[in-house]
Amino acid sequence: MTNVINRLPAGQVEPGRTHLRYRAAVRRRRARIGALVLFVAVVVAAVCTLLAGPVGLAWGIAYLAAEAVGALIWQPLDALYAECWQILGALVRGSLVDTVVFVALLDRWLPLGVAGQMLGKTEAVLATGAVLLATRRLRGHLRLWRAGGRHG
């Protein structure tokens, strides 16, 4: 008797290793490992992480920690179509991890505080959101204007 997938006699086939789902899972795992290695290389290269001294190195480590937390918390929530407030809460937790790690690593060199860093991040998010909303509204008004409709 031979195995249908790889045409080997039944005694020579490892159970489970010839199944198509197993092969697909191995390909996905290899792709994820490759993406992780590439991501780490990009983080090391960005803002000259290794050349910027303690601040650059702390930023790189904190960023990797926040992304790891994000991969474990908010990405599965997003994949499960969780509510927006749940995903936002997970993003805030990832940002808090980033800030705590960054401040802890730079404690010897710079007198930073987690509260001040989080306030700065909050201000940046609110400013970005305001610009995004204004841009969307303007684009909607322009689309109506081009179509010859009323705009208000």
For the chain, the domains span 1-48, 52-112, 113-152
pLDDT computed for residue 15 by the predictor: 57
> Mean per-residue pLDDT for 1-23?
60
Q: Of the candidates 96, 57, 58, which has an alpha carbon nearest to the alpha carbon of residue 74?
A: 96
Q: Residue ranges of the alpha helices (H) in 15-83?
A: 20-45, 53-72, 74-79
Q: Looking at the whole model, is its pTM more than 0.85?
A: no
